[in-house]
Amino acid sequence: MKFFLDTGNLDEIKRIVKLGLVDGITTNPSLIAKEGRVFKDVIQEITAIVSGPVSAEVVALDAEGMLKEAHEIAQWAPNVVIKVPMTEAGLEATYRLSQEGIKTNVTLIFSVAQGLMAAKAGASFISPFVGRLDDIGVDGMQLVRDLRDVLDLYGMKTEIIAASIRNLEHVEAAALAGAHIATIPGSLFPSLWKHPLTDIGIERFLKDWEKVPKQG
Ligand code: G3P
């Protein structure tokens, strides 16, 4: 399973990259806005640190506008992936970009039908939003399971990015559900390697170590 970091924050990225846990990055307009910096600068700095796919999202709502932005963004770095929203225009842009060999990540997926349409249009990645489905009382992880079943059933190469991940349980469930990738907020990452019993265990070992006779 691959892990992407869902952030535009360079410090968060550098911290987790050091641990060998980052296979790629996803951003969106909200995450970029949080940084208060120029979009292109943020993406180029990220792509200089991370060699895996780095998603950068278009904001146009029409296909021609999306393609215009996509062509510019695609020049920023070889590992950039164009993120497009799941709309009719987004599907057209996805299809045309896939014909040109430009990778896309279709975002804001909330149903199996949407995921299937995006995969069929040629998306490299699809991003079901697990947390936002949970927010409205729908089991977001079931969508990930169903999407994986459908993609496997038809031998489709599109990869599922479990997105809108909010907690440790989401990450574990995404792994079990067969998400190819989970994109995880930087702030959530430390909770993946922490456990209170680990901390207590270390404390006990160190206490006992004090009882061990020292040489000389
Ligand atoms: O990966 C998508 C993410 O950035 C949206 O997360 O928590 O705003 O639903 P959230």
**Domains in the chain, please, with CATH?**
2-211 (3.20.20.70)
Ligand 1 closest atom vs CA 185? 4
The residue nearest atom 10 of ligand 1, judged by CA position, is 164
DSSP secondary structure letter of residue 163: B
Find out whether the beta carbon of 163 lies less than 6 Å from any atom of ligand 1: yes
Average of per-residue pLDDT across 59-82: 98
Ligand 1, from 164, 166, 167: best to mutate by most atoms within 8 Å of Cβ? 164
Q: Which of 5, 109, 127, 129 to mutate to test the pocket of ligand 1 (most atoms within 8 A of CB)?
A: 129
pLDDT tens, position by position, 104-126: 999 999 999 999 999 999 999 99
Q: Is 164 in the pocket of ligand 1 (CB under 6 A)?
A: yes
Backbone angles phi, psi at 211, to 5 degrees: -80, -15
* Residue type, position 19, single letter: L
* Helix or strand run (H / E) with residue 6: strand 2-6
Residue positions annotated with a catalytic role? 83
Reading the block at residue 140, the tokens are 């977001």
Distance 121 CA to ligand 1 centre (A): 23
Q: What is the mean pLDDT of residues 21-41?
A: 97
Indicate the pTM of the whole model: 0.95
Residues 6+ apart with CB under 8 A from 35: 8, 9, 42
User: Quick one: which of 96, 98, 116, 115 has its CA closest to 107?
Assistant: 115
Tell me, in angstroms, the distance from the centre of ligand 1 to residue 56's CA. 14
Q: What confidence category does residue 215 fall into, taking pLDDT thresholds of 50, 70 and 90?
A: confident
**Which phi and psi angles does 97 have, rounded to 5°?**
-65, -40
Q: Which helix (H) or strand (E) holds 55?
A: strand 54-57
What single DSSP character describes residue 213? Answer: P
**Residue 87 in this model has a pLDDT that exceeds 80:** yes
- Give the pLDDT score at 89: 98
The Cα–Cα gap between 142 and 180 comes to: 15
Does ligand 1 lie within 6 Å of residue 131's CB atom?
yes
Q: Which of 3, 4, 5, 6 to mutate to test the pocket of ligand 1 (most atoms within 8 A of CB)?
A: 6
**Whole-angstrom Cα distance, residue 72 to residue 184?**
27
For residue 117, the SS3 value is helix
pLDDT of residue 187: 92
Expressed in angstroms and rounded, the spacing between residue 163 Cα and the centre of ligand 1 is 6
Mean pLDDT of 157-167: 98
Distance separating alpha carbons of residues 87 and 73, to the nearest angstrom: 20
The answer to whether the beta carbons of residues 143 and 150 sit under 8 Å apart is: no
| Per-residue model confidence (pLDDT) at position 169 | 96
